[in-house]
Amino acid sequence: MNFAEFIEGRRDEHLNELCEFLRIPSVSAKTEHKPDIERAAKWVAGKLTEAGFKTVQIVPTALHPLVYAESLEAPGKPTILFYGHYDVQPAEPLDLWTSPAFEPTVRNGNIFGRGTADDKGQVHIHIKALESLHKVNGKFPINVKVLIEGEEEVGSVSLWDYVQKNKTKLKADALIVSDTSMLAKGVPSITYGLRGLNYYQIELTGPERDLHSGVYGGAVPNPLTILSELFGKLHDKDFRVLVPGFYEDVAKVSAAERKALNALPWKMKDFDKAVGAPGYVGEKGFTTVEQLWIRPTFELNGIWGGYQGEGAKTVIPSKAYAKFSTRLVPNQDPQKIAKLVEKQIRKLLPKTVKCKFDVLSTGKPWAAPFTAKIFLTAQGALEKGFGKRAVFIREGGSIPFVTQMHDTFNVPCVLIGFGLPDENAHAPDEHLALENYFGGIKSIAHFYADLANL
Ligand code: BES
Ligand code: MN
Ligand code: MN
Which stretches does DSSP call E strand in 41-103?
55-59, 66-71, 79-85
Is the minimum distance from the CB of 152 to ligand 1 under 6 angstroms? yes
At residue 2, the pLDDT reads 96
Mean of the per-residue pLDDT values of the chain = 97
At residue 440, the pLDDT reads 98
The whole-number average pLDDT for the span 7-24 is 98
Residue to probe by mutation, ligand 1, list 114, 152, 156, 328, most atoms within 8 Å of CB: 152
The CA 293 to ligand 1 mean position distance, Å, reads: 13
Is the minimum distance from the CB of 334 to ligand 1 under 6 angstroms? no
The whole-number average pLDDT for the span 136-158 is 96
Is the distance from CB of 414 to CB of 333 less than 8 angstroms? no
Nearest C-alpha to atom 6 of ligand 1 is from which residue? Answer: 397
At residue 157, the pLDDT reads 86
The whole-number average pLDDT for the span 128-145 is 98
Measured from the Cα of 195, ligand 1's closest atom is 21
At residue 140, the pLDDT reads 98
First to last CA, the chain: 24
Nearest C-alpha to atom 18 of ligand 1 is from which residue? Answer: 155
At residue 144, the pLDDT reads 98
The whole-number average pLDDT for the span 271-278 is 95
Q: Which residues of 89-127 are buried (b: 16+ CB within 10 A; e: fewer)?
A: bbbeeeeebeeebbebeeeeebbbbbbbbbbbbbbbbbb
Residue to probe by mutation, ligand 1, list 399, 403, 426, most atoms within 8 Å of CB: 399
Nearest C-alpha to atom 1 of ligand 1 is from which residue? Answer: 179
Angle (CA) 294-181-416 rounded to 5° is 100
Helices (H), 97-155: 120-137
How many CB atoms lie under 10 A from the CB of residue 378?
28
At residue 243, the pLDDT reads 98
At residue 40, the pLDDT reads 98
Confidence of residue 270 (pLDDT cuts 50, 70, 90): very high
The whole-number average pLDDT for the span 305-310 is 97
- Tens-place pLDDT, residues 341-398: 999 999 999 999 999 999 999 999 999 999 999 999 999 999 999 999 999 999 999 9
Nearest C-alpha to atom 14 of ligand 1 is from which residue? Answer: 398
Please list the active-site residues: 87, 152
Is the minimum distance from the CB of 121 to ligand 1 under 6 angstroms? no
Q: Is the pLDDT of residue 169 over 90?
A: yes
Residue to probe by mutation, ligand 1, list 180, 190, 362, 398, most atoms within 8 Å of CB: 398
Total residues belonging to the chain: 454
Is the minimum distance from the CB of 395 to ligand 1 under 6 angstroms? yes
Half-sphere exposure of 208 (CA within 13 A, CB side): 0
The CA 35 to ligand 1 mean position distance, Å, reads: 24
Q: Is the pLDDT of residue 454 over 90?
A: no
Confidence of residue 7 (pLDDT cuts 50, 70, 90): very high
The CA 397 to ligand 1 mean position distance, Å, reads: 5
The CA 353 to ligand 3 mean position distance, Å, reads: 35
The whole-number average pLDDT for the span 6-30 is 98
Measured from the Cα of 398, ligand 1's closest atom is 21
Is the distance from CB of 68 to CB of 170 less than 8 angstroms? no
Is the distance from CB of 361 to CB of 160 less than 8 angstroms? no
* Cross-strand pairs, 84: 148
The whole-number average pLDDT for the span 324-350 is 98
Q: Is the pLDDT of residue 306 over 90?
A: yes
The CA 442 to ligand 1 mean position distance, Å, reads: 24
Contacts of residue 138, defined as CB under 8 A and 6 or more positions apart, other chains included, come to: none
Is the minimum distance from the CB of 402 to ligand 1 under 6 angstroms? no
The whole-number average pLDDT for the span 34-41 is 98
The CA 399 to ligand 2 mean position distance, Å, reads: 7
Q: Which ligand is nearest to the CA of 89?
A: 3
Is the minimum distance from the CB of 149 to ligand 1 under 6 angstroms? no
- Tens-place pLDDT, residues 392-437: 999 999 998 999 999 999 999 999 999 999 999 999 999 999 999 9
Whole-structure pTM value: 0.96
Secondary structure of residue 251 in the 3-state scheme = coil
Omega before 331 within 30 of 0, i.e. cis? yes
